[in-house]
Chains A and B, each alone.
Chain A
């Protein structure tokens, strides 16, 4: 809790030339405090290889050599990423008898690795394409990869966005610290008051889906869609807020994703830094490579891209299914595009004022359906849920649920009405904050307005926060 103020103080006191060192040491201390030495080593490896190769790629004149360095760099990052993520399953395969002394450390945690390896790859490619200058200052480069607000769960920053900012680290000003703290608190609210409160209603069902009716499965799935958004966008806000205190702007990761009017639109609004990464570094190259194959080439590129997306999220069939499902969505949408207008005319929505709303609602259904597989504990569970959404009878309803009965029971699934009411309050605040946050320029309002809003947020945090051990959903990647 004292970490950020301490770093901020040190940052302010240091002359501008050494500020990067303050942030870098803070970031290393931050990562080290997680007590996962393997990750620190992996990070150092990523930093060293991409730093050195970045300079080589830029300085080298021979085209083949440059390409070689690029591929070496990419291979190194993929090896690290894959190796760390697969480490636990591999060790289990080799010998269940292998006891690794833990001493309180989680040796197999993958916190952060998935993010900065991708960032390193994007750096190397951008240097190769000469769309970015290589960073020659080792300290700044390490900071670029390890900046603590974004270290654990992104956003994945482009060289062109973050490196220039690290060149000139201005001293913190009051306005930025203030708005940074506000953004951080808002993110915290989304995480502890909304996402944490949604979690039990989801977990109850997803832990044992066979015991619940179709209505419960649907309810839990919708709630999960909200939970993962609140959780991840909450984390992102916290990261952006902290970065802002140091005058650093990280990229926006979310833009009202459930207001998307198509799956393609959804991916422009969800986990933006990640989807831009897979677009620029997997989809585009593949699509261009296969442009001779016309539509088949595009579909192929889509499927590979989203297969990667699934795998990146987790080495499990559920994540792969989720990824491929989105690939299928996009491919179908692409292939059916010529007939899209005709269909809309057929169902009478072609120029209807509600067409957009219709598209948004339908898109959300597809997205929510895909989340089933993302959340399910196994592919069997996922399949069960997907195929039983409209099957009525439950095999097991708790006494409390039977008493409350019907729809409410299916939503509560054993949870208390009181908790649900508090969840409702939290979500109302979330909704209000998201909607009005876009139009009301808080920094320009009179002080009594600002302070009332701050107080309201603090009280909301006090009243509505829910303790739990869920952690951040996206931490596991």
Chain B
């Protein structure tokens, strides 16, 4: 389950109006999200929610669901 606020941050960073983002969605399926923009999206998420992920945690992300879970674990 991808929460709307995370989805909004992602869409904003990628300059997309809308795109279906589910838990199993892979980064590669979202237009504009490639290896070059990957870090900036992560950074945008971190800034928007005031959290900081460790490098290893980021490297282990496989899909959007992982990202949501990681984010949830960092939020108070």
Stretch at the interface among A142-150, A281-289, A403-411: A281-289
The yes or no answer to A104 lying at the interface (CB within 8 A) is: no
Closest Cβ of chain A to B35, distance in Å, is 6
The yes or no answer to A450 lying at the interface (CB within 8 A) is: no
Contacts of B40 in A (CB 8 A): 291, 294-295, 298
Contact call B35/A288, Cβ cutoff below 8 A: no
- A278, B56: Cα distance in complex, Å: 17
Closest Cβ of chain A to B36, distance in Å, is 5
Closest Cβ of chain B to A165, distance in Å, is 22
- A62, B39: Cα distance in complex, Å: 28
B20-76 residues at the A interface, CB under 8 angstroms: 34-36, 38-40, 42-43, 55-56, 58-60
Closest Cβ of chain A to B75, distance in Å, is 19
Contact call A297/B60, Cβ cutoff below 8 A: no
Contact call B35/A129, Cβ cutoff below 8 A: no
Number of interface residues of B (CB under 8 A): 13
Contacts of A283 in B (CB 8 A): 35
Contact call A288/B36, Cβ cutoff below 8 A: no
Contacts of A285 in B (CB 8 A): 55, 59
Contact call A284/B35, Cβ cutoff below 8 A: yes
Contact call A264/B59, Cβ cutoff below 8 A: no
Residue in contact with A291 in the complex, picked from B35, B42, B59, B60, CB distance below 8 Å: B42
Contact call B34/A288, Cβ cutoff below 8 A: no
Chain B contact surface mostly: helix
Closest Cβ of chain A to B37, distance in Å, is 8
Q: Which residue of A has the minimal Cβ distance to B46?
A: A291
Contact call A297/B39, Cβ cutoff below 8 A: yes
Chain A contact surface mostly: helix
How many A residues touch the partner, as a band?
20 to 34
Residue in contact with B35 in the complex, picked from A279, A290, A292, A294, CB distance below 8 Å: A279
A288 with B60, Cβ < 8 A, contacts A294-B40, A297-B39, A298-B36 known: no
Max chain B Cβ within 10 angstroms of own Cβ: one of A131, A264, A288: A288
Residue in contact with B59 in the complex, picked from A129, A294, A295, A301, CB distance below 8 Å: A129
Residue in contact with A264 in the complex, picked from B34, B42, B55, B60, CB distance below 8 Å: B34
A289 with B55, Cβ < 8 A, contacts A264-B34, A283-B35, A298-B40 known: yes
Closest Cβ of chain B to A277, distance in Å, is 13
- A285, B58: Cα distance in complex, Å: 9
Closest Cβ of chain B to A465, distance in Å, is 40
Contact call B56/A291, Cβ cutoff below 8 A: no
Contact call A291/B34, Cβ cutoff below 8 A: no
Contacts of B58 in A (CB 8 A): 288
15 contacts between A and B (CB under 8 A): A129-B59, A129-B60, A130-B60, A264-B34, A279-B35, A283-B35, A287-B38, A288-B38, A289-B55, A291-B39, A292-B43, A294-B40, A298-B39, A298-B40, A334-B36
For the complex with contacts A284-B38, A288-B55, A298-B36, 11 further pairs of A-B residues with Cβ separation under 8 Å are A129-B56, A130-B60, A279-B35, A287-B35, A288-B38, A288-B59, A290-B39, A291-B42, A292-B43, A298-B39, A330-B36
**Chain A residues with a Cβ under 8 A of chain B:** 129-131, 264, 279, 283-285, 287-292, 294-295, 297-298, 301, 330, 334
